[in-house]
Structure 1
Amino acid sequence: MANAATVQFFDLPDTRIMNPVAVTTSGTVRQNATRTWSWYSNPWPTAGVDPNKDPTAWFTGLGPNSSATYAFDLSGGASFVWGTPDFYNRVEFLLGDTVVDSFQLTASDNLGPASRRRGAALAVFSDIAGGVFDGMRLSTPRMSFEFANLTTTAPIAPIPLPAGGVLLLTALGGLAIARKRKKDAQA
């Protein structure tokens, strides 16, 4: 599946929040850890946070061949602090048990702050195929995938058809009045 979801990278946020608890996991998953272990690197030191002294420096680390699946209310976008974004890390957006979109970095992606610091960045996902999802699966076939502050945003509600129809009729009526006034002025 080709990437339809788009991602933008930003500087790390000042606020640290605990990740939701995964509904399913496979492989080695350390949820809401604060200290670095073997191949898991806490992404917060990039923002000047000492995870050895700050108990809110939560992150989740996936080991090789591991995944974590999260459930949400119906959502339209997502964001998380992505520790050392790697080309083999994968993000899948789910609606029920169906993958509706996925994202994996390519060489052409602009990593923004992550490339400047060779570390973590806030990844903000939008343009999810189908517009909505209710779950995410984060996985890695090798090495590790560290993330923090996993959150979602509500889907953008379309303008209801009856309201859109009233707006269209109002606009057309306004154009008709303007045309009549212009015609009367020329006469």
Structure 2
Amino acid sequence: MSNSFRDRKDAGQALAEALSHYRETPDLLVLGLPRGGVPVAWEVAQALDAELDVLVVRKLGVPWQPEVAMGAIAGNGVRVMHDDMVRSLNISPDDIEAIARDETTELERRETTYRGHRPPLRIEGRTVIVVDDGLATGATMQAAVKALRAQSPERIVVAVPVSPPDTAEDMEQLADEVVCLMRPPGFGAVGQWYQRFDQTSDEEVQALLGTSKS
């Protein structure tokens, strides 16, 4: 494998190949974490002939450095925090709650934007593959897995093109299986492992969901 993906489509096709043993799994569900995980998840769902849906999770960014995740939230009040980071950066509970309120509003907006009035697909008893375009701290994926566990799936598979080794190892403690194509020691950021890493728009997510099996 080369040391980068052309784009999310290329990453999704490579990931689908690594997940091909799930192709005959009955009632298989693929969930993409929006926005960037959805184009990757679409390729996986198409290749595995599975239903596709979104699982909206929002990063809780450090107040003065929002791109760095100190935690994440998912639906039904699920929250995951990197407590060591919060302590070391001396982030106040008030700051955390203010950011969580803002991100909850955005989470609800995205749920409505992507799904409209269509309810989320059933999770209980199903094998669920959760896809993102890569992991950094892993906070959003941890929140996703925690939210899914509460809905009693048969099996949770975390599938990503790239992740730092330690984040992938942490994920292996939470998911039933982790499929990660690259675990580079000198990770840096997700985008550096793609030749093209444009922002995914709400409209693209809506279009992909509209052309999926679901």
TM-score normalised over the length of structure 2: 0.23
Greater C-alpha radius of gyration = 1
More helix as a share of residues: 2
More strand as a share of residues: 1
State the structure with bigger RCO (CA 8 A, min sep 6), 1 or 2: 1
